Structure 1
Amino acid sequence: MSDLPALPVTFRPARTRAVLLGAGAAILVVITTVAMLLEQLGPGERLSFILTAALLFGVLLLLSRPKVVADETGVTVVNIAGRRRLDWAEILRVNLRHGDPWVFLDLSDGTSLPVLGIQPGIARRRAIEDARTLRALVEARSVREPGGRRDEHQG
């Protein structure tokens, strides 16, 4: 495929991220404003309102974290609570089947890794495009032996 993007390239659910960060900021501002305007609240109660708002914002910030970064040497998958670095040779297949909440990578160790950075929730077409692009990058960067098997000895 000659239409491959220049590396490095980052895939992330931009609309979902915008909604989560916008909602988080709005919650933080509204709850903080309410805490400051309620005159019957003491300093400790105000602080608890603000800390609760900050906690909610933090949760939404974590939910907006997922992304996938493809570069010359491999792929970095950043999910909500973790990050995993993969060499191109470790990725056997990129899957986004009808009804899947996000992309899954089939790996050479026999496991499957969820990739929350490409999810069809709000922007289905974009997710399908991103999944196809990542699949094409994996295929272009993979070294296959004759007969379709991947060379396990590549460096």
Structure 2
Amino acid sequence: MSDLPALPVTFRPGRTRAVLLVSGVVIFVVITVVALLLEELGPGERLSFVVTGALLFGILALLARVKVVADESGVTVVNIAGRRHLEWAEILRVNLRPGDPWVFLDLSDGTSLPALGIQPGIAKERAIADARTLRALTEARSIRDPEQRRD
């Protein structure tokens, strides 16, 4: 257990996040500049351009917010439109199979939860290492049957 990171630890797709946020800012600035440079547009039309740019930035910022946070109490998965906290014992398996777009957590209630904070998009090796670390943390911290662990 000495090779496990100290908790809390946050997993997030750093490069993907940077690309999304920078792209969002660039899109917003370009659309705003275009709105200001087009002389034939009225104030309402210019405002609609700026609002459209802000909406596009907002969507990209939502995509960039994904993360997985492991702490003493369990794992918090922050996806695009939601957040869910899981106790360690609720996580049965951490999966990142070849071709998967992100990690999937198999849960004790029979469902599977996507964890978009670990995704092999731009940084495949990093995602694999993060998935292995989360798997090791889960195996070390989840005690499903205390009698079994004493052997």
Q: Counterparts of 1:21 and 1:61 in 2: how far apart (Å)?
A: 6
Q: Counterparts of 2:148 and 2:118 in 1: how far apart (Å)?
A: 27
Note the C-alpha offset of 1:147. 9.0
Note the C-alpha offset of 1:11. 0.3
1:98 equivalent to 2:74? Answer: no
Instruction: Note the 1:1-155 alignment, pairs <5 A.
Output: 1-145=1-145
Distance 1:15 1:124, change over 3 A: same
Aligned to 1:153: none
Structure 1 consecutive aligned stretches of length 4 or more whose deviation exceeds 3 Å: 144-149
Matched residue of 1:45: which SS? helix
TM-score, length-scaled by structure 2: 0.94
Matched residue of 2:25: which SS? helix
Whether the aligned pair in 1 keeps the contact of 2:11 and 2:68 (CA below 8 Å) is yes
Note the C-alpha offset of 1:103. 0.3
Q: Counterparts of 2:44 and 2:16 in 1: how far apart (Å)?
A: 34
Matched residue of 1:110: which SS? coil
When the two chains are superposed, the root-mean-square deviation of aligned CA atoms in Å is 1.5
Q: Counterparts of 2:146 and 2:87 in 1: how far apart (Å)?
A: 21
Counterpart of 2:85, as a letter, is R
Q: Counterparts of 1:33 and 1:148 in 2: how far apart (Å)?
A: 65
Q: Counterparts of 2:74 and 2:106 in 1: how far apart (Å)?
A: 14
Q: Counterparts of 1:79 and 1:73 in 2: how far apart (Å)?
A: 19
Note the C-alpha offset of 1:146. 7.8
TM-score, length-scaled by structure 1: 0.92
Q: Count the aligned residue pairs.
A: 149
Q: Counterparts of 1:102 and 1:85 in 2: how far apart (Å)?
A: 18
Q: Counterparts of 2:21 and 2:49 in 1: how far apart (Å)?
A: 19
**Bigger shift: 137-146 or 22-31?**
137-146
How much identity, in percent, do the aligned residues show? 81
Q: Counterparts of 1:115 and 1:89 in 2: how far apart (Å)?
A: 17
